[in-house]
Chains A and B, each alone.
Chain A
Amino acid sequence: MAEVPDEELVAALRGGEPTAFDRLYVRYERRLYGYIRRMLGESAAADDLFQDIFLKVLRDRSYDPARGRFAPWLFAVARNACLAAQRSERSQASLRERAEAQLRPREAPGPDARLGDAVRVQAAMAALPEPQRQLILLKQLGELSYREIAGLMGVAEGTIKSRLHAATQAFRRLLTEGGSADEL
C-alpha cells in the first residue's frame, strides 16, 4: 500500500482527523527530537521545545500542504526555535560546557560494541562547530536537499554544498582521530 504523503496527513489533521497526527508523529518523533537534543543538549528544555514545535507547525496556517514539502517546514521551524533557545541559554552556560557535557556518555558504556560506536559518533558530532553540526543534522535527520537547506538558510545552493562537504569531512576526521573542535 502506498504511503500517504506528509502533506496529506497535515491536511487531514487540519480537516478534523486527529488520527492523522499519530502517523505524522511516528514519522518524525525520532528525527525531530534527535535534532533538538543534538542542538540543545538538555533534556527538559528539549521536551518542551519538541512539543511546542510540533504544535506550532500543525497550527500554523501559513504553511500550505499543497504548496510545499512538510519536512523542510518542520525543520525550519525547529531550527529557528533551537537558535532562539540557544540565544537565551547562552547567558547561563557557555557552548563549550554544553559540548563537554554532551561528550560525556549519559550511560555507563556497556559491553555492546555498537553502544561504544554510538557514543564515539555522538562525541564527534558534539565536537563539531555548531554551523557544521547543524548542516549535517538538517541533511541527515531532516532529509532535506541542498536546495531546501539553502532556502532555509538564505544562501546559495553551491554554498551549502561546499559547507556540507567540509562539515562531513570534519566529522569523519573527528570520528577517526577522536580529536576536538579546536583542530578544525
Chain B
Amino acid sequence: MNCEACDASLIDHAYDELEPEQRRAVTRHLAECAGCAVSYCRLRADLDGALQAAHEAPPVAVRERLRAAVEREFRPTWWRRALAQVRRPVPAYAVVAALVIPAALWFVRESTRDGATAAATAPRVRGYDAAAPPLVDRPIL
C-alpha cells in the first residue's frame, strides 16, 4: 500500500469500517510510514475530541424522573414477583431438598415398620383393663 491509498483509507480505518484484509494493510503501512502515522494520529485526536465534546450527562433530576417512570411501568405485579422468587435458582433449595427428602423417606419407613410390628405382637383391645375391678352392677342385658 502506498501513501495515497493509505490516506484514502484513513477515515474508514478510524471509523473501524475497513474489511479485515484492508485494515491489516493500512496497519502495516502506518507502522512503516511516519508521515501517514502522524496524519492518522491527528485524525484520531480530532475525532476523539469531537466525541469527548459531544458526550454530556443529563441532569440528575432527569434520571430520577425516568427511573420512577420505568419503575411504574415495568415493575411486575406482586404474584409475578413471588413466582420469580420461587423460580430463582438458589443453591440452598438443593441443600434443603437433599436433607428433607431422605429424612421424610426415613420417617415414613420407620413409622410404618413400628406400626406393623406393634400390630403383630401386641394387639390392643379398646376399653379393656385387666387391673380394674369387675363392674358388678353392670346390667346383663
Say yes or no: B11 contacts A140, CB within 8 Å. no
Residues A140 and B49 in contact in the complex (CB < 8 Å), given A21-B67, A25-B63, A172-B43: no
A58 touches which of B15, B43, B63, B70 (Cβ 8 Å): B70
Q: Assess whether A33 is in contact with B17, with CB atoms less than 8 Å apart.
A: no
* Interface size grouping (class) on chain B: 20 to 34
Cα–Cα, bound, A20→B64 (Å): 15
Q: Nearest Cβ distance between residue A60 and chain B, in whole angstroms?
A: 12
**Does B46 make an interface contact (CB < 8 A)?**
yes
What's the dominant secondary structure at chain B's contact region? helix
Give the distance in Å from the alpha carbon of A136 to the alpha carbon of B55 in the complex. Answer: 13
Name the residue in B73, B76, B80 with the highest tally of chain A Cβ atoms < 10 Å from its Cβ: B73
Across the interface, name the chain A residue whose C-beta is closest to B12.
A161
A34 located at the interface, meaning its Cβ lies under 8 Å from any Cβ of chain B in the complex: yes
* Chain A residues within CB distance 8 Å of chain B: 13-14, 16-18, 21-22, 25, 29-31, 33-35, 37-38, 46-47, 50-51, 54-55, 58-59, 117-118, 121-122, 124-125, 136-137, 139-141, 145-146, 161, 164-165, 168-169, 171-172, 175
